[in-house]
Structure 1
Amino acid sequence: MPRPTQAIIDLEALRFNYGLARDRAVPGQAMAVVKADGYGHGIARVAQALASDAPCYAVACLEEALAIRKAGLAHPIVLLEGVHAEKDMSVCLEQSLEPVLHSDMQLSWLRGIATPPVVWLKLNTGMNRLGFEPRDLPALMARLDQQEVRVRGLMTHFACADDLADPFTQVQTAVLEKAAEAFPGLLLSVGNSAAHFRPEQPLFHWSRPGIMLYGATPMLDASGPELGLKPVMSLVSELISVRTLEPGMTVGYGATWQAEIPTPMGIVAIGYGDGYPRHAGTGTPAVVNGTRVRLIGRVSMDMLAVDLSSVPDAQPGDPVELWGGQLGIDEVAASAGTIAYDLLTGVTPRVPRVYVN
């Protein structure tokens, strides 16, 4: 029998979440962000599941785009970091990929190409990671026009869109709008997942939903279900051992948790070797037989311990959900001091992905 730890991926929930993003993007369109192996869900299967709904995909790098092409999909693909080597510009042309240029070095790589690929330009409106300064846009456009490079549009990325009380998103939007005034033929793309939930926030021509596709929240003050999103991944396993700890007994490395009263304890076949966060401490929730329990002690590489006081009749073989439909990943992430992005992309290849719907 295989180890019982699995990541069950509900593709119908994925399509539902994309539909919500698509509807919020109207009158624009939504490119499905499937980078980081589809946020840990499997890039090929995610892209295939969205093939009839999403008119365009967005990824971080060339390898991810080629994985989509290998899956047999011919949709437009936007490379959010552009390319990382000069030779890859020709690959973009061959594979109909649209790199997002953000540096003079990438611009220089276009010089030696007889027929350059269609590109986007990244503008730095305040995130201060990547992008050209808006004041330099006229010179950039003139340079690319001389090289006969077709620019599809302008893109920027929001720093604080997850916080409805922070006005910086409006500032960034205004910077992009002003820079784009002189180039009305260019498409605009600003909307990360959080932007879809900001009242009155323009999403322009193309939004870029990412984490919301997978059912987790992009916002500071609301969970995925509270935003109307459906969980896509359920991380599940089973109890492989049950015992009672007497007062004074400890469990796990470092003996960090000690029983004060007789405590039924279960060992679950999952650990940080599977991507479950080692820093998830005592009190982090899980679900056994449909009932909430709490982690106790330290997470090990291949297993973790749970307090079974709320399910005293639990036995080896009983199902455990670490996050999913019964327990929101946003709550688990908050308990572990991290975010859902980290948990989803951290699930290791050792965990089989099982696709349903």
Structure 2
Amino acid sequence: MGRPLIAEIDLDALRHNYCLARELAPHSQALAVLKADAYGHGALACARALDDLAPAFAVACIEEAQALRDGGIDKPIVLLEGIFHGDELPRVESLGLWMAVHSEWQVDALLDYRPRHPIPVWVKVDSGMHRLGFSPERLPEIWQRLAGAPGYACDLHLMSHFATADALETRYFRRQLALLNELATRLDAPTCLANSPATLAWPQAHGAWNRPGVMLYGSDPLEGANDASRALRPVMTLHSEIIAVQELDAGEPVGYGGRWIAPRPSRIGVVAAGYGDGYDRHAVDGTPVLVDGRRTVLAGKVSMDMLTVDITDLPEAAIGSRVTLWGRDPGGEVLSVDEVARHCDTISYTLLTGILPRVPRRYHGSMS
């Protein structure tokens, strides 16, 4: 049977979360964002599961798009960072990709290239994130250059990215949105603005397209959950088993550096999972886990291949007991990856994308 650590991927939950994104914005189309191997869930399997629902997908780069095409996915795919060099344009055209444009050199490369078939272009404006995109002052000229060029004029979209759509404080978000609305009106441009938090919480930002990302995988990106985000279902359940049990006297340490000291006579379960699998080494003592569906906590530093949990108050826990590190336990108890991430001083994106290839993914549920 082998090592018991497995990442279970619930494709029915994935489809539920995509349908929720669509229901929240009934007048928008929803890109399903599959970058970073679908946030660690397996891009091809997730694309196949959503193929009958999603009109288009989105990835970060042409290599990710190629993998989907090689796997038989023929829906439109948006390159969210566009091209990285002009010599990628023939592949963009041959693969039938759509592309973001955020820099002058990309515009020049596009205008120098003569596509046989139109390449839909998503022009990115920097509305306040200050990563990629044209300034609002420069954007109208760029738009007009592309609108006047054969091969690009018929399918231009305006896109941007919100810096604080997840936050409880809304002033900066509203400033970005007002700027984008003014630009879209001036250019008569269809928009793609809403990321996961804006899809969940800001209907004012819903455009011709939205691009739900981490919400598809069941993580709540909002600082304060709302009814919509509470309806998300976890897609990945990371689980393993106890492989050894240690009986300790009070005052005995556990793990590297002896960070955790037994405050009483204690039982410690040793679990087959560690940072060599992608479980975050920064997890502190007290990070929650489920053992046979009951909550307990991490006790001691995470090692490369193992971690240790306090099972003193779980007398039935033993070698072979199931340990859910995040996700849904068979008994129905859910341990949110977002809660685990907070104990690691990080975000769910890091945990989900950090699960390494030696952890097998096991898929179940609907597949197209």
> Counterparts of 2:214 and 2:105 in 1: how far apart (Å)?
30
Moved more, 169-178 or 30-39: 169-178
Q: Can you give the 5+ residue segments of structure 2 that lack an aligned partner in the other structure?
A: 329-333
Give the SS at the match of 1:324. strand
1:282 aligns with 2:297: no
For residues 336 and 146 of structure 1, the distance between their equivalents in structure 2, rounded to whole angstroms, comes to 50
Residues 180 and 220 (structure 1), Cα distance of their counterparts in 2 relative to 1, 3 Å cut? same
Which residue number in structure 2 is paired with residue 243 of structure 1? 246
Report if the CA contact (8 A) 1:224-1:230 is conserved. no
Letter of the structure 1 residue corresponding to residue 286 of structure 2: G
Indicate how the Cα distance of structure 1 residues 99 and 124 shifts in structure 2: closer, same or farther if over 3 A, else same: same
Matches within 5 A, 1:9-158: 9-115=9-115, 117-148=119-150, 149-150=152-153, 151-158=155-162
The normalised TM-score by structure 1 is 0.96
Greater alpha carbon shift after TM alignment, 198-207 vs 74-83: 198-207
Partner of 1:163: 167
Residue 295 of structure 1: CA displacement?
Answer: 0.4
Q: What is the match of residue 344 of structure 1? A: 352
TM-fit CA distance, 1:340: 0.8
1:293–1:306 CA contact under 8 A, matched in 2? yes
**How far apart are the structure 2 equivalents of 1:18 and 1:224?**
16
SS, match of residue 174 in structure 1: helix
How far the C-alpha of 1:260 sits from its partner, in A, is: 2.4
1:226 deviates by: 5.5
Retained in 2: the 8 A contact 1:33–1:208? yes
**Aligned residues: percent identity?**
47
Q: Give the SS at the match of 1:134.
A: coil
CA distance in structure 1 between the aligned counterparts of 2:11 and 2:101, rounded to whole angstroms: 32
Distance in 1, Cα, partners of 2:294 & 2:127? 47
Cα 1:303–1:223 change in 2 (3 A) is farther
Matched, 1:194 2:213: no
Q: Supply the distance in 2 between the matched residues of 1:214 and 1:145 (Cα, whole angstroms).
A: 36
Letter in 1 for 2:138: D
Check conservation: 1:241, 1:267, Cα contact below 8 A: yes
CA distance in 1, matches of 2:59, 2:229: 27
The one-letter amino acid paired with 2:343 is S
Distance (whole Å) between structure 1 residues aligned to residue 24 and residue 361 of structure 2? 29
Question: Is 1:302 paired with 2:310?
Answer: no
Offset of 1:118 from its aligned partner? 2.2
Distance in 2, matches of 1:29 and 1:146, equals 26
The equivalent position to 2:214 in structure 1, one of 211, 214, 217, is 211
C-alpha distance 51-160 of structure 1, shift in aligned 2 (>3 A): same
Partners of 2:73 and 2:319 lie apart in 1 by 43
Distance 1:182 1:34 in 2: 32
Higher mean Cα deviation, 314-323 or 161-170?
161-170
For these two proteins, the number of residue pairs brought into alignment is: 356
**1:215, 1:224 within 8 Å by CA — same for their partners in 2?**
no
Distance 1:82 1:112 in 2: 16
- Distance change (3 Å), C-alpha of 1:246 and 1:224: farther
The AA in structure 1 aligned to 2:164 is: C
8 A Cα contact 1:212 1:224, kept in partner: no
In structure 1, C-alpha distance between the alignment counterparts of 2:309 and 2:11, rounded to whole Å: 30
Any conservation in 1 of the 2:25–2:203 contact (CA below 8 Å)? no
Distance in 1 (alpha carbons) for counterparts of 2:291 and 2:269:
10
Quick check: 1:262 aligned with 2:265? yes
Separation of aligned partners in 2, 1:6 and 1:260: 32
Question: Runs (4+) of structure 1 moved beyond 6 Å?
Answer: none
Q: Which amino acid aligns with 2:225?
A: A
Which residue is equivalent to 1:5?
Answer: 5
Question: Distance in 2 between the 1:65 and 1:316 partners?
Answer: 43
Partner of 2:331: none
Distance 1:107 1:275 in 2: 39
CA distance in 1, matches of 2:309, 2:227: 25
Alignment partner of 1:331 out of 319, 332, 339: 339
**Does the 8 Å CA contact 2:300/2:308 hold for their aligned counterparts?**
yes
Partners of 1:338 and 1:265 in 2: CA distance: 26
Q: Which amino acid in 1 is paired with 2:50?
A: L
- 1:292 shift after superposition: 0.8
CA distance in 2, matches of 1:73, 1:226: 29
Q: 1:225 to 1:216 in 2, by over 3 A?
A: farther
Q: What letter matches 2:110 in structure 1? A: L
